[in-house]
Amino acid sequence: MRCRAFTLIELLVVVSIIAMLIAILLPALGSARRSAQRTACLSNIRQLEVAHWAYMTDNKGQMLGTSHGGPDSSWIEKLRKYNEGLLLQSPLDTSPHFEGGTPVGGVYRQTSYALNYYLSPDANPTAVPDAVQRIDQVNVPGEVVHFVLKVFEGTMAVRDHVHPHFWDDPDATLQASFASSEMQIDAHGGEPQTPQALSAYGFLDGHAEQATFEEVYRGLDDNHFNPKLNR
Residue 10 has pLDDT above 90, yes or no: no
Say if residue 34's pLDDT is above 80.
no
The whole-number pLDDT of residue 90 equals 95
Secondary structure class of 202 (helix, strand, coil): strand
Contact 150, 112 (CB under 8 A): yes
- Paired with 199 in beta bridges are 211
The whole-angstrom separation of Cα 90 and Cα 8 is 48
Q: Provide the whole-model pTM.
A: 0.84
pLDDT, one tens digit per residue, over 69-96 is 666 667 888 888 887 777 789 999 999 9
pLDDT of 191 higher than 90: yes
In the chain, domain spans = 9-229
Q: What angle do CA 200, 37, 20 make, to 5 degrees?
A: 130
pLDDT tens digits along 92-150: 999 999 999 999 999 999 999 999 999 998 888 888 999 999 999 999 999 999 999 99
